Amino acid sequence: MANPEDRWPENVSGRFYVDEQCIDCDLCRELAPKYFLRQDEKCYSYVYSQPDSGEGMEECAEAMDSCPVEAIGNDGS
């Protein structure tokens, strides 16, 4: 389960975030490319845009549910 205390600093504030467990598998960037980007230098994903629609929420939720190491969190804010 993602830990909000271990969020990457690049995450924009809001409901979804990626923490330090990320293994750079690219799945979240494939499922929700409008919301997740890769930090190329250190090789991990982060949330660069929070969803503002039902469709976007569903994409981010699918990415979170599909993450193989549970590095994506939803703090409900």
Q: How confident is the model at residue 76 (pLDDT cuts 50, 70, 90)?
A: confident
Q: Is the pLDDT of residue 77 over 80?
A: no
Question: pTM for the full model?
Answer: 0.95
Q: What is the CATH number of the domain that holds 55?
A: 3.30.70.20
Of the CA atoms within 13 Å of residue 25, those in its CB half-sphere come to: 16
Mean pLDDT value across residues 14-39: 98
% of the chain exceeding 70 in pLDDT? 99
41-69 pLDDT per residue, tens: 999 999 999 999 999 999 999 999 999 99
The 10 Å Cβ neighbour count of residue 41 is 6
How many domains, in total, are found in the chain?
1
Range of the domain at 20: 4-74
